Amino acid sequence: MNCNSCTNKRCPINMYCLPNWLEYTQKTKSTLYLTKNHSIFKAGELVRGIYILCSGKAKVMMEKEKCNVEIIRLAGSGQVLGHRGFSEKMVYPISAKTLNESEIASISNEDFFKLVRENKDLAIYMMMFFADELLMSEQTFQIYGTQTSRAKVAYTLVLVINAFRYADHNTKQIDFGLSLHELATFAKVSYSAFSRVLAKFVEEGLLVKKTWKYYVADEAALSNLAGVEIK
Say whether both 168 and 71 belong to one domain.
no
**Same domain? 89 vs 163:** no
For residue 135, the 8-state DSSP code is H
- Biggest distance spanned by C-alpha atoms of the chain: 53
pTM: 0.92
Q: Do 217 and 157 fall within a single domain?
A: yes
Per-residue pLDDT of the chain (231 residues; tens, 9 = 90+): 889 888 888 999 999 999 999 999 999 999 999 999 999 999 999 999 999 999 999 999 998 766 678 899 999 999 999 999 998 899 999 999 999 999 999 999 999 999 999 999 999 999 999 999 988 888 888 888 888 999 999 999 999 999 999 999 999 999 999 999 999 999 999 999 999 999 999 999 999 999 999 999 999 999 999 999 998
Residue 7 lies in a domain: no
Question: Quick check: 25 and 17 in contact, CB under 8 A?
Answer: yes
Same domain assignment for residues 52 and 161: no
Residues 130 and 69 in one domain: yes
The last residue of one of the domains, among 142, 161, 196, is 142
Same domain, 109 and 73: yes
Residue 101: give its domain's CATH number. Answer: 2.60.120.10
For residue 138, the enclosing domain spans 12-142
Q: Are 145 and 154 in contact (CB under 8 A)?
A: no
Q: How far apart are CA 51 and CA 58, in angstroms?
A: 11
Is 139 exposed, middle or buried, given 0-12, 13-18 or 19+ CB atoms closer than 10 A? middle
